[in-house]
Amino acid sequence: MKILVICKVVFICLFFISCNGQTSSKTGSNRIVGGGCDGCELMYIGMPKEIHSVDTSAGWNEKGQRLIVTGTVFQLDGKTPAKDVIIYYWQTDNDGYYSPKAGMDERTKRHGHIRGWVKTDANGKYTIKTIRPAPYPNDVLPAHIHLSIKEPDIENEYYTDEINFDEDKLLIPHFKKYPQENRGGSGVVRVLLNDNLQIAEHNIILGLNIPNYPKKINNEKISGLDIGEEQL
């Protein structure tokens, strides 16, 4: 009888601890701009004190197709340039691996050695010099570059849509199963070739389709297409 009573007490305690833990977790995540991001916090590890609007990745001088990604970061209205926004990027190498390098912090090895930061200038501009990432070996995911955003007046970082490439044969089959979230706008870029260099423009709209984003825009000033929507 004593054993039965003890078991009931333990069960009740575990039940309340479990429920309270779940409630607390959900409440906490709802307050996070962007709803949380697995791995985005790694942007602070190794982050230089001075970040420029142009960055040359470790992959620039490695084997692979050289690629320049450049664009403008806008405020939520889609028109006003946003300055001092930090963009953290990480990607696979020419073989499709997040390959680490000797001396890397153990925590960042899963992002590979081709990672870096840019901070938008007064006109919201940024440029990343890197190489074209390769898709994961023996996988169906299209090639991509991960992006994480840190705004100067928002406490936490959040992720936007990955950069994808419009001519990637894996892209359409992937989007049929997993439609774009359009976080910050579409991540699909069109690549232009200039001699042996590929160039892609990728603009970002802060807060667009980002959960719990604290800033709002005046709907009276909006007409026509939604912000970030492409005209067909």
Q: CATH assignment of 51-209, given 2.60.130.10, 2.60.40.2700, 3.90.79.10, 3.40.1280.10?
A: 2.60.130.10
Tell me which of 10-19, 181-190, 216-225 is least confident: 10-19
* Tens digit of each residue's pLDDT (9 = 90 or more) over 107-156: 999 999 999 999 999 999 999 999 999 999 999 999 999 999 999 999 99
**pLDDT tens across 191-202, in order?**
999 889 999 999
Residues, the chain: 232
Q: Give tens-digit pLDDT for 10-36.
A: 433 433 333 333 222 333 445 899 999
User: What distance lies between CA 10 and its chain's CA centroid?
Assistant: 43
pLDDT of residue 217: 82
Contact assessment for residue 112 and residue 46, using Cβ atoms and an 8 Å cutoff:
no
Question: Is the pLDDT confidence value at 57 over 60?
Answer: yes
How far apart are the C-alpha atoms of 85 and 114, rounded to whole Å?
20
How far is the C-alpha of 144 from the C-alpha of 114, rounded, in Å? 12
Compute the average pLDDT of residues 67-92.
Answer: 98
Buried b / exposed e along 129-168 (16+ C-beta atoms within 10 A): bbbbbbbbeeeeebbbbbbbbbbeebeebbbbbbbbbeeb
pLDDT score, position 31: 81
